[in-house]
Amino acid sequence: MSNMTRPDPEQLLRRVQAEDEFRKHGRLKIFLGYAPGVGKSFRMLDEGRRRRLRGEDVVVGAIQAGPSPVIQEILRKMELIPLKTVAGVPMIDVNAILRRRPEVCLVDGLAYDNPPASAHAKRWQDVEELLASGISVIGSVNLQFIEELRDEVERITGREVNDTIPLSFVKMADEIEVVDAPADMCKEGGVMLRPEATPADNQQRLMELREKALLLAADVVDHQLETYLQRHGIEQLWGAQERILVCVTPRLRASTMIESGRRNADRFHGELFVVYVNEPDLRPDEHASLEGNLSLARRLNAQVSLLESEEPIHAIMEFARQHGITQIFIGHSSRERWWHRLRGSFVDHVIREAEGMDVRVFPN
């Protein structure tokens, strides 16, 4: 994380502001929760309230039905642009908000579907329109409404979800903030649960959802960091995530290594890469063993890459540096040759070259 000339924060701020001016685009901030009742709406409104105290022009564009007494208390001090109801379905009043032109609009429940035949089918598309017209939006959404996570969440909760927002919308937010709370604090979380299951089972489900929300936020943050580093021309030398690289060869029984790589990557919630440096003229048995290893890697959702190079170690190290690898897994060659004693084996060379990374050597 160094070797970089970092501009001072004021300079950074000016640059970011300049970019924003240029884009004339509102900023989007999303509060992400893992279940109803963790307190997203409260946090969103609380931020709106504080911004208003600081002199920003804030309105409330949407709030969920049946607000708690605490929320009602905050709402009394805020300006509301009421939802309009079309065919019995509530939707934000985009035109009224555009006419009012606040600096910031609060929009609860980003995943709601609009009534049929509306200008936009989804509330988040209304939000895009507000953003495009230069109004900043602070919104809230629960994990289960993210389209890409729908299957996983349904597996956990056994409940079908209809209204969703795409993950890309969450990822393009300028800011995302996790609303975290212990599973047993989440009073209305019961909505998410299976009535037939025991309380302990349901508690487990909430914890699983909570973990997913935290990891999703970590991924979004990771993505933002990459963008940030690129924008400022900084080379990333180190990340917060474990990234494991397994090196396979045709002569290696690599299945233990690949499986261990998968298990380690999962435990660290990290990423798994498998590389093979192409060698010409493989024997049929070598070819078969290689194919076996690579197909196992793909089955275990590793990111598999074939490298072309005359110098395998050089190619592996370059790949490792480019991908921010933190751990390299290699195997002993099947037998030790006499020249290894003199010049060092493949393993010796990898250990020597792998500056800044852990190297784990596996039995063959």
Partner 1 sequence: MPDASPSSHRGLLKIYLGYAAGVGKTYSMLQEARTLARQGVDMVIGYFEPHNRKDTIALIEGLEIIPRKRIQYRGATFEEMDTEAILRRHPAMCAVDEFAHTNVPGSERCKRWEDVQVILDAGISVLTTMNVQHLESLNDQVWQVSDVRVRETLPDWVVKQADEVVMVDLPPTALLNRLRRGQVYGPEKAQQALQNFFKESTLVLLRELALRQTAHQVDVRYVEQEEPAATYPDHEVRALPATNHIVQPSDRILIYVTADPSSAMLIRRGRRVADYLRADCFAVSVHPDADLRRMPAAPRERLEKHLNFARNLHIETRLLQGENPAETLVDFARLHQVTQIYLARARQALRMPVVGHSLVQQVVRLARDMQVTIVAERRRQPEH
Q: Which residues 144-183 are close enough to bind partner 1 by CB under 8 A? A: 152, 174-182
Q: Which of 14, 148, 194, 238 binds partner 1 (CB under 8 A)?
A: 238
Cα radius of gyration (the chain): 26
Token pair listed for 31:
């509060």
Closest distance between partner 1 and the C-beta of residue 164, in Å? 20
Distance between CA atoms of residues 256 and 234, nearest Å: 37
For partner 1, which is the closer residue by CB, 47 or 147?
47
By CB under 8 A, residue 125 contacts partner 1: no
* Residue number, 92 or 146, with CB nearest to partner 1: 146
- Per CB under 8 A, contacts with partner 1 among 33-62 are none
Burial readout 229-265 (b: 16 or more C-beta within 10 A, e: otherwise)? eeeeebeeeebeebbbbbbbbbbbebeebbeebbebb
Q: In whole angstroms, what is the distance from residue 247 CA to residue 307 CA?
A: 11
Choose which of 44, 110, 137, 217 interacts with partner 1 (CB under 8 A). 217
Stretch that binds partner 1, among 94-102, 260-268, 279-287, 315-323 (CB under 8 A): 260-268
For partner 1 (CB under 8 A), the number of binding residues is 81
Does residue 251 touch partner 1 according to CB under 8 A?
no
Out of 40, 123, 243, 262, the only residue in the binding site for partner 1 (CB under 8 A) is 262
Task: Choose the stretch contacting partner 1; rule: CB under 8 A; options: 76-84, 117-125, 130-138, 264-272.
Answer: 264-272
Work out how close the CB of 130 gets to partner 1 at its nearest, in angstroms, rounded to a whole number.
Answer: 20
Burial code of 127-155, b = ≥16 C-beta within 10 A, e = fewer?
A: bbbbbeeebbbbbbbbbbbbbebbeebee
Task: Pick between residue 40 and residue 122 the one whose CB is nearest to partner 1.
Answer: 40
Q: Do 154 and 161 touch, CB atoms closer than 8 A?
A: yes
Q: How many CB atoms lie within 10 A of CB 116?
A: 9
Who's near 328: CB < 8 A, 6+ residues apart? 244, 245, 247, 316, 320, 350, 354, 357, 358, 359, 360
- Window 284 to 323, contacts with partner 1 (CB under 8 A): 299-301
Least distance to partner 1 from the beta carbon of 248, Å? 16
Quick check: 79 binds partner 1 (CB under 8 A)?
Answer: no
97, 165, 304, 357: residue in contact with partner 1 (rule CB under 8 A): 357
State the minimum distance, in angstroms, from the CB of residue 277 to partner 1: 21
State which of residues 19, 148, 222, 279 lies at the interface with partner 1 (CB under 8 A): 222
Please state, in angstroms and rounded to a whole number, the distance separating the CA atoms of residues 24 and 338.
68
For residue 97, which of 143, 134, 72, 70 has the smallest C-alpha distance? Answer: 134
Of 90-98, 109-117, 142-150, 267-275, the segment contacting partner 1 by CB under 8 A is: 267-275
CA distances from 186 to 112, 139, 213, 335 (A): 22, 20, 14, 58
Binding residue (CB under 8 A) for partner 1 from 103, 147, 208, 353:
208
Residues 188-207 that bind partner 1 (CB under 8 A): 200, 203-204, 207
Tokens linked to 131 = 């953003």
* Residue 89 makes contact with partner 1 by CB under 8 A: no
Nearest by Cα to 145 from 177, 116, 174, 123: 123
Q: What interhelical angle do 150-157 and 199-231 show, nearest 10?
A: 160
Residue 290 burial (CB count, 10 A): 20
| Binding test (CB under 8 A) with partner 1, winner from 86, 237, 288, 306 | 237
The stretch among 121-129, 188-196, 228-236, 314-322 that binds partner 1 (CB under 8 A) is 228-236
